[in-house]
Structure 1
Amino acid sequence: MSKSKIIYINKFYPTELHVDFSSKEKGYQVLKELSGYLPKFPIIVQSNSLPWRIGNLYLVRLVLDYKGPQYNPETHKQKAIALVEYLRFLESENLHYAQFPVQKRRRPTYRFRNYLLDLVSKNEMAISTAQSRINQVISFYKTVVEWGLLEKSLIKDGLAFEQIEKTISYINNTGFSKSLAITSTDLAISSNNAPSDPDAIMDEGRLKPLTPSQQIILLDTLKGFSRGIELFFLVALYTGARLQTIGTLRIRHLKNVLRWEDGYAIIPYGGSYDLDGKKGRLGQLWVPKSLLDDLLTYANSQAAIDRRKSSFYGESDDNYLFLTRNGTPYYTSRKETNERRDADADYRVDGEHAIEDESLKKGEAIGVLIRQEILPKIRITHPHFPSFSIHDLRATYGMNLLEACYRLIDRENFIRKEKKQPLIGYSNAVDVVQIRLNHKSRSVTERYLKYRDRSKWKAKLISEFESRLIGEMSIEVEDETSASTCLIINREVASA
């Protein structure tokens, strides 16, 4: 038996849609014409080979709705994947998306949640994937009820799910604690549902920080690669930056630093800045001065100049710092995609996706480099070296920073104890890591603290952290220059 599936239309021009639910006397029309096409638009097809009307109407109207966001093919693809997985589940269990029995356990949404949790428990699905799938289904029901395509009672009476009011605390970009009221549901899947893994940190995936000895091995291995590749990884390891941010770093960002703090160049990203961050979220990149000097030296090297000559931006400070031998970026910035936008695409299309796919780079080359070159080279002499991703280096930075701040606090508290002054709490260290890694929720940062307290990591740190890694990573500089950062987050306590 065939399964429901997704087909993609390269140039989609919807001018009119009509959905007729005659049994419920409901219908909806979309009469807004496009100024151009929507690229790679997903259409959901049921197992009987007919389009799934309400699912497709949902996907189309999200774009055409006046209040809707810009069309992003990747985002829409993820919505469609979640819905088609839900549809496959409904078909396999002979359920209907609009029929909700009195017993909660028999309702399709709750049964789908249990199905996802079962996949997670079997390690057949990542917890983050399960969370994304159920969240998309929740959004689907909320939206179609708001449009009047399904009865309001599904939400009002808590049939599809029950809504829950929550308050979360977080540290904003200025270091102050804030509270945010949010609405959740009893369908939401918590990270606590994930299978326990004592050797991982749940932070946008299951991250496994490299131990200090593993970091030394990696640093030694990177010296055998080009200076550009070595510096790319050093930025990840010494700043905790995401792949997208490192890949869109421009020479201009390094030359025009407007703010310095404790020996760090503070470079903003996300929002309206042309240095990209995750989902456009505002943040700050803390670059040690010694690393900044090395990056500027590389930018002026002949190797970097030669790569810029064959690139989109040419010999210009507006060009990317890191380019491949062919002059292509490792990660295409939003700025470039907007500048290369296809004029025939509809105005609703996110500029990042209004260009040919072949031109877009999403950091794939770095993953290939790790798997095919760096790891094989390491394993010649260290056959049991673990697999890792560039994102694992972000978690590694967080652990290194947390440990450095703990050492500073211990040193300061030793002095304060002698002077019979109030001691500084370790919560200040968590504050620093949250700000540097730009975690919106403090609970995510606290996972680093819990990871540190696990015996395996602590044992390795006791024997390894005082190694030469400290000198190579300039953590001693951090000991001297970042004391104020680690110690004055809580200004009232620190000034006592």
Structure 2
Amino acid sequence: MRVHYVEVGDLTVDATPNFYVNENGERCLEWAANGTTIHDMVLLFDAEGRPINAANEYLIYCKTVDKLQDIRSIAKGLMHFFDILDTEKLSWDKMPRPRNQRPLYRFRAYLQALHDEIDPETGKRRLASTTAKSYRGAAIGLYVYWQGYGKFERDPCHIFEANISDSRMLGHINRNIKVQMTDLKIVARDKTKNTALPNHLSPLLMETRPELQALKSIIKNGYGYVQVNGKYIKKSISSETKLAVLLALYTGMRRLEILSFSSSLIYMPRPDENAISITIGPAIRCHTKGGESGEIKIPSWLMRLLFQYIHSRSYKNRLAKFIEKTRDPLALKYPPLLLSSQGKPYSGNSLNARWSEIRNAIIIDNNLPKFAHKFHNLRSTYATYLTFSLLNLKFPENHPSHPNEPVLTRSQVEAEVQARMRHSSPQTTTLYVKFWDEHHLEREADRIYQEELDNIYGDDEAIGMWNETVFMKVGLKGEAWPK
């Protein structure tokens, strides 16, 4: 067994030990109930099954001090780092005088070599530059943490500050921000042009590549394919997996947000509601990116489907098991929508495995051998078609000043999509608009999917852009036009 990480669930730390001798004269140890419980904890173990304390203390710090909701990506990066150290017989805290012999530099060289190598079968790089940089960042974070304790004789790497332009939403206030950088540069050889959409942001398309249509068909038919001994065997798709796919496709939520989305937020919508606005964030135990709260919109038909599910016998049984095992009062108040049959919250690994089975069905039964989308691409699909829907919003023909003219400018569309997707940087949002322009995707739009989004964003209350600024821009503040 190599270096590996284990999802241990809830972990209690900093409890007071109580030593005593029992009636048989045996020494015993009990722990007081004054510890801190860390939820969804991940720990690292070496090839012998022993805990790697240096890594685990840092992972606990990430959870308790940095308040990171999901540390799996950090754990995975550290797993690769300590695995390389184990292979090359290196100590993580020993810093030789030659810089290129220190652990971080050796790890950087390993990641660069892996990124440079191309798989002859797939024609793709063994390791994407984004993944390589993520692994590197995890290892650097470990050393920054321990350097605060004066752990090393020499610097693990050269860390310096640099000024970069701030392209985030409020970047115009402070033009530049200071960031920490290192000399552990990884040369990315898989960069795309600025106007191209990266693979992890690519949407599912229609017509020329009927990917979205194929996905809907597989979800409707309710089966995927699992590979057993080299053979593909049909396997039914669970209700929980279907709901996860629908939530990603029609709300744009991230994977971790879907996995922690609470059933307590679900209710039967009114007949006149096209969509329901819901605020998600740490306050309701929803693990949003960066721990920031934000608003999502759920179509009324999907909300009704969720309402039916949480009142099903299956969910009630799962919820009862979850309540029996859970002591966290916030988790009891906001239980997850997606639970396993054992009453445990759905894990990211389980969802990835189920998505792989769906992807197999799309490839096999729909003649799409190049379908390689990940679950995250469902969020990108939502963003792309939302962009298209907003760009095509027009005033009615009988509008007094702007008949059949676009309601929103491109910049307003980008601002709305950025708000709905909760992007920290407008650059990501801009890619979606450019993507439509450059690929002429209007001809490939899934009309049914687009109409469903139009139902959410097609009225002035739902769009969220009908404020004083917009009305003043079109010269219609407070004015209505004939029906």
TM-score surpassing 0.5? yes
> Residues 439 and 192 from structure 1, CA distance in 2 versus in 1: closer, same or farther, beyond 3 angstroms?
farther
Residue 444 of structure 2 aligns to which amino acid in structure 1?
A: E
Deviation at 1:185, TM superposition (A): 0.4
2:332 is equivalent to residue 312 of structure 1: no
The match for 1:426 among 403, 410, 421 is 410
Deviation at 1:400, TM superposition (A): 0.4
3-state SS, counterpart of residue 266 of structure 1: strand
3-state SS, counterpart of residue 171 of structure 1: coil
The match for 1:238 among 230, 239, 250 is 250
Task: For 1:128 and 1:336, locate their aligned partners in 2 and report how far apart those are by CA, in whole Å.
Answer: 38
Question: Which residue does the alignment assign to 1:268?
Answer: 279
Question: Which residue does the alignment assign to 2:464?
Answer: 485
Question: Which residue does the alignment assign to 1:133?
Answer: 135
Question: Which residue does the alignment assign to 1:77?
Answer: 75
> Residues 63 and 429 from structure 1, CA distance in 2 versus in 1: closer, same or farther, beyond 3 angstroms?
same
CA RMSD of aligned residues (A): 5.4
Question: Which residue does the alignment assign to 1:372?
Answer: 357
Question: Which residue does the alignment assign to 2:152?
Answer: 150
Contact 1:274–1:335, Cα closer than 8 Å, also in 2:
no
Contact 2:214–2:366, Cα closer than 8 Å, also in 1:
no
Deviation at 1:247, TM superposition (A): 3.5
Task: For 1:481 and 1:364, locate their aligned partners in 2 and report how far apart those are by CA, in whole Å.
Answer: 40
> Residues 96 and 244 from structure 1, CA distance in 2 versus in 1: closer, same or farther, beyond 3 angstroms?
closer
Task: For 2:105 and 2:147, locate their aligned partners in 1 and report how far apart those are by CA, in whole Å.
Answer: 18
2:444 is equivalent to residue 464 of structure 1: yes
3-state SS, counterpart of residue 133 of structure 2: helix
Residue 478 of structure 1 aligns to which amino acid in structure 2?
A: Y
1:164-313 correspondence runs (5 A): 164-171=162-169, 181-187=177-183, 194-196=190-192, 201-202=197-198, 206-213=200-207, 214-225=211-222, 230-255=242-267, 263-278=274-289, 280-296=291-307, 298-299=308-309, 304-313=311-320
3-state SS, counterpart of residue 163 of structure 2: strand
Per-residue CA distance 1:303-360 (angstroms, 9 max, x = gap): x52113422337xxx99xxxxxxxx9xxx999689669xxxxxxxxxxxxxxxx9945
Contact 1:240–1:395, Cα closer than 8 Å, also in 2:
yes
The sequence identity of aligned pairs, in percent, is 17
Contact 2:363–2:370, Cα closer than 8 Å, also in 1:
yes
Contact 1:131–1:188, Cα closer than 8 Å, also in 2:
no
Question: Which residue does the alignment assign to 1:60?
Answer: 57
Of 63-72 and 425-434, more deviation after overlay is shown by 63-72
Of 179-188 and 427-436, more deviation after overlay is shown by 179-188
Task: For 2:216 and 2:59, locate their aligned partners in 1 and report how far apart those are by CA, in whole Å.
Answer: 47
Question: Which residue does the alignment assign to 1:163?
Answer: 161
Residue 87 of structure 1 aligns to which amino acid in structure 2?
A: L
Of 123-132 and 226-235, more deviation after overlay is shown by 226-235
1:394-409 correspondence runs (5 A): 394-408=379-393
**TM-score of the aligned structures, taking structure 2 as reference length:** 0.65
**TM-score of the aligned structures, taking structure 1 as reference length:** 0.63
Per-residue CA distance 1:268-290 (angstroms, 9 max, x = gap): 11222133434643222211334
Residue 308 of structure 1 aligns to which amino acid in structure 2?
A: Y
Per-residue CA distance 1:5-30 (angstroms, 9 max, x = gap): 46879899999xxxxxxxxxxxxxxx
1:281-360 correspondence runs (5 A): 281-296=292-307, 298-299=308-309, 304-313=311-320, 359=344
Deviation at 1:120, TM superposition (A): 2.3
Residue 272 of structure 1 aligns to which amino acid in structure 2?
A: A
Task: For 1:198 and 1:382, locate their aligned partners in 2 and report how far apart those are by CA, in whole Å.
Answer: 31
> Residues 422 and 293 from structure 1, CA distance in 2 versus in 1: closer, same or farther, beyond 3 angstroms?
closer
Task: For 1:288 and 1:369, locate their aligned partners in 2 and report how far apart those are by CA, in whole Å.
Answer: 24
3-state SS, counterpart of residue 249 of structure 1: coil
> Residues 268 and 422 from structure 1, CA distance in 2 versus in 1: closer, same or farther, beyond 3 angstroms?
closer
> Residues 294 and 491 from structure 1, CA distance in 2 versus in 1: closer, same or farther, beyond 3 angstroms?
same
3-state SS, counterpart of residue 247 of structure 2: helix
Residue 116 of structure 2 aligns to which amino acid in structure 1?
A: S
Contact 2:200–2:376, Cα closer than 8 Å, also in 1:
no
> Residues 237 and 359 from structure 1, CA distance in 2 versus in 1: closer, same or farther, beyond 3 angstroms?
closer
Residue 372 of structure 1 aligns to which amino acid in structure 2?
A: E
3-state SS, counterpart of residue 162 of structure 1: strand
> Residues 133 and 178 from structure 1, CA distance in 2 versus in 1: closer, same or farther, beyond 3 angstroms?
farther
The match for 1:475 among 438, 454, 478 is 454
Residue 270 of structure 1 aligns to which amino acid in structure 2?
A: G
Deviation at 1:78, TM superposition (A): 3.6
Of 481-490 and 433-442, more deviation after overlay is shown by 481-490
Per-residue CA distance 1:113-140 (angstroms, 9 max, x = gap): 3542342233111333212222123223
> Residues 254 and 277 from structure 1, CA distance in 2 versus in 1: closer, same or farther, beyond 3 angstroms?
same
Contact 1:209–1:395, Cα closer than 8 Å, also in 2:
yes
Contact 2:259–2:345, Cα closer than 8 Å, also in 1:
no
Question: Which residue does the alignment assign to 1:452?
Answer: 436
Question: Which residue does the alignment assign to 1:121?
Answer: 116
3-state SS, counterpart of residue 447 of structure 1: helix
Contact 2:395–2:406, Cα closer than 8 Å, also in 1:
no
Question: Which residue does the alignment assign to 2:23?
Answer: none
Task: For 1:281 and 1:229, locate their aligned partners in 2 and report how far apart those are by CA, in whole Å.
Answer: 26
> Residues 125 and 417 from structure 1, CA distance in 2 versus in 1: closer, same or farther, beyond 3 angstroms?
farther
Per-residue CA distance 1:225-264 (angstroms, 9 max, x = gap): 3776554432221111123333443443122999xx9953
Task: For 2:464 and 2:381, locate their aligned partners in 1 and report how far apart those are by CA, in whole Å.
Answer: 19
3-state SS, counterpart of residue 286 of structure 1: strand
How many residues are aligned here? 415
Deviation at 1:211, TM superposition (A): 0.4
> Residues 36 and 333 from structure 1, CA distance in 2 versus in 1: closer, same or farther, beyond 3 angstroms?
closer
Residue 357 of structure 2 aligns to which amino acid in structure 1?
A: Q
Contact 2:436–2:442, Cα closer than 8 Å, also in 1:
no
